[in-house]
């Protein structure tokens, strides 16, 4: 069975007078271990779909199974717990808690799970090394570049060893060089750890790295092409 199985997801948003970011019956299936891009112009519903899969948002209709769980039937508290143990997030920007150091940011999610300080700090340091930020654990976000911040976000997303990492336009605020190295990092982590990545983006760089691209336009999946 697929890791993510979404069937006929519908969701409408109103932003002022304009109906925007609507999903008009999206079906999607992502296998475990996949490295999938969700492509489409802005306003096509990428973020909405990602939020629904990440249990941050709920559709008006449709069915959704993530990691074998019918997530639409979960309560708010159950969803929070589910996110904590099964899903990692990387957002476009403002990923980090400003007042925490890089290490504390990465360790934070494990702390929510009640992991001991020694253990979670060890995990955080290992992950920081893995994303190429060895020795920067004590820096605060405002002392780091945008690319470094996104790397920390990736490290944090992996800290709880989730089944899936959802990344929403992770390269949008980065220059192409930094974006490229971030994509290489994620791809490498996908290969070495087997973690599933679902990345929304209209950045050609991202699409070039993806093994599977799902195109979203006007709230519908247009084609399901494997790279």
Partner 1 sequence: MFDLSIYLKLGWRNLWLHPLRTGLTVAALALGIAALTFLSAMNDGWLQQIRTNFALTMTGHLQIHASGFQQTLKLARHIKDPAQVMQALDGLAGIHSVTSRLRVSGLASVAGANAGALVYGVEADKERHLSRLAGFVTQGRWLLDSDDRAVVLGDGLADRLQVALGDKVVLMAALDNGDIASEVFRVRGLLHSGVLDIDDLAAVVPLGRAQQWLDMGQGVTDIVVRADDFEQVTGLVDQLRQRLHAGDGSQSAAADSSGYEVMSWSEIDPMAEQWSAFADAYTWIVLAVVILVVLAEVLNTMLMSMHERSREFGLMGALGVRDSQMFFMVIWETVILVSVGSVLGFMTGGWAVWHFGKVGIDLSQFAVAFSFMYMSPVIHPLLAFDSLLGILGAAILGAVVAGLFPAWKAARLDPAAAMREV
Which residues of the chain form contacts with partner 1 (CB under 8 A)?
Answer: 47, 51, 54, 56-57, 76-77, 80-85, 89, 91, 94-95, 97-100, 104, 108-109, 111-112, 114, 117, 156
- In the three-class reduction of DSSP (H, G, I as helix; E, B as strand; rest coil), residue 28 is classed as strand
Tokens of 41: 């112009």
Nearer to partner 1, 36 or 55 (CB): 55
β-pair partners for 166: 89, 198
β-pair partners for 221: 216
- In whole angstroms, the minimum distance from the beta carbon of 178 to partner 1 comes to 21
Q: Report how far residue 24's alpha carbon sits from residue 173's, in angstroms, rounded to the nearest whole number.
A: 29
Nearer to partner 1, 51 or 148 (CB): 51
Q: Could you report how far apart the first and last alpha carbons of the chain are, in Å?
A: 21
- In whole angstroms, the minimum distance from the beta carbon of 153 to partner 1 comes to 10
Residue length of the chain? 227
- In whole angstroms, the minimum distance from the beta carbon of 111 to partner 1 comes to 5
Q: Report how far residue 78's alpha carbon sits from residue 11's, in angstroms, rounded to the nearest whole number.
A: 22
Q: Kindly report the CA angle at 96 between 90 and 97, in degrees rounded to 5?
A: 145
Q: Report how far residue 214's alpha carbon sits from residue 210's, in angstroms, rounded to the nearest whole number.
A: 10
- Nearby residues of 200 by Cβ (< 8 Å), 6 or more positions away: 37, 38, 39, 40, 46, 47, 49, 50, 167, 168, 169
Nearer to partner 1, 45 or 209 (CB): 45
- In whole angstroms, the minimum distance from the beta carbon of 226 to partner 1 comes to 29
- In whole angstroms, the minimum distance from the beta carbon of 146 to partner 1 comes to 15
- In whole angstroms, the minimum distance from the beta carbon of 80 to partner 1 comes to 5
């Amino acid at each position: 069975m697929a890791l993510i199985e979404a069937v006929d997801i519908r969701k409408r948003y109103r932003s002022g007078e304009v109906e925007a970011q609507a999903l008009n019956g999206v079906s999607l299936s992502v296998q475990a271990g996949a490295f999938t891009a969700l492509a489409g112009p802005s306003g096509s519903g990428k973020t909405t779909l990602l939020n629904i899969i990440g249990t941050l948002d709920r559709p008006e209709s449709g069915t959704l199974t993530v990691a074998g769980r019918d997530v639409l039937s979960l309560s708010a508290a159950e969803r929070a717990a589910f996110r904590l143990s099964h899903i990692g997030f990387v957002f476009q920007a403002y990923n980090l808690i400003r007042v925490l150091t890089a290490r504390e940011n990465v360790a934070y999610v494990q702390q929510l799970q009640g992991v001991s300080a020694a253990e979670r700090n060890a995990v955080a340091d290992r992950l920081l090394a893995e994303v190429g930020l060895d020795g920067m654990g004590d820096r605060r976000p405002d002392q780091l570049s945008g690319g470094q911040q996104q790397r920390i976000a990736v490290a944090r997303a992996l800290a709880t060893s989730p089944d899936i990492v959802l990344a929403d336009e992770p390269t949008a605020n980065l220059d192409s060089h930094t974006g490229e190295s971030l994509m290489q990092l994620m791809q490498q982590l996908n290969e070495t750890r087997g973690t599933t990545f679902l990345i929304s983006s209209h950045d050609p760089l991202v699409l070039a790295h993806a093994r599977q691209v799902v195109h979203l336009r006007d709230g519908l999946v247009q084609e399901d092409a494997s790279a």
